[in-house]
Amino acid sequence: MKKIETHLHTAPFSPCAIEYPRDIARILKKAGFDAVIITNHYRKDIYEYWQERGCDPVDKYLEAYHELVKYCKKVDIDAWLGIEVHLWRYNVGDVYGPMHEVLLYGIDEQFLRDNPHIYDLTVEELKELCDKSGVLAIQSHPYRATSRPIDPAYVHGYEVYNANPEQNPPHINALAYEAAEQHGLIMTSGSDFHKRGDEVSGMYIPTIVKDIAGFVECLKDGSARLIQE
């Protein structure tokens, strides 16, 4: 089996992340990972931050991805493209919550270029776009205090184990697992990596899987296994 990190943020694109791709590759290698999916935050405020500095936000996102690919390749780790979209219109109060954040698996670079303002979508619109594009929409940490679970009709799955111990204690993860099981949703687990020491979860997938399309198929057919440590 291959060990894959499914939920990971890199500095400087994700402002809450501490580690840069050069160090992340070494950290993941030491922890026994064979693959990683970059899922930097993609929020309206982050988009505007880079835009105000004269940068194309999509270019900056992909720059982080390519940098991770470069350093992971040096330590024999596959790095694949993903994203964590923040659907800002569901906020109550400040930008951080409560909110809907959705991990997208199966995207490619053209998907991002075609949908630079994807954070403006409703959950219904996002699900329709993902279905049309062959992309899986998995809600991140749906029962976290700063989140609200999305109607199961508008996602393909829930992240049922998020390893952030402060924001996702065991009972929060248990609620996500129970809801996913009840509604027949895809289940994922991930470290929600931001800094050294976070690299404690992820998933196991068949060794034969060589790209993000293969990972998506593993989620669909149930051959991916949760890591709940």
Element (H, E) at 63: helix 57-74
> 119 near 47, Cβ under 8 Å?
yes
Per residue in 3-59, pLDDT (tens digit) is 999 999 999 999 999 999 999 999 999 999 999 999 999 999 999 999 999 999 999
Over residues 175-200, mean pLDDT: 98
Element (H, E) at 188: strand 186-190
Over residues 136-149, mean pLDDT: 94
Mean pLDDT, the chain, whole residue set: 95
Distant-in-sequence, close-in-space partners of 76: CB < 8 Å, separation ≥ 6: 29
- Looking at 92-96, 103-107, 183-187, which range is the least confident one? 92-96
Q: What is the pLDDT of residue 93?
A: 60
Q: What is the pLDDT of residue 97?
A: 54
CA distances from 157 to 52, 62, 139, 200 (A): 34, 25, 6, 21
pTM exceeds cut of 0.85: yes
Q: What is the pLDDT of residue 29?
A: 98
Quick one: how far is CA 67 from the chain centroid? 17
Q: What residue ranges define each of the domains in the chain, with the CATH number in brackets?
A: 2-226 (3.20.20.140)
Per residue in 60-75, pLDDT (tens digit) is 999 999 999 999 999 9
Over residues 181-206, mean pLDDT: 98
CA distances from 213 to 36, 70, 141, 208, 218 (A): 13, 20, 23, 12, 9
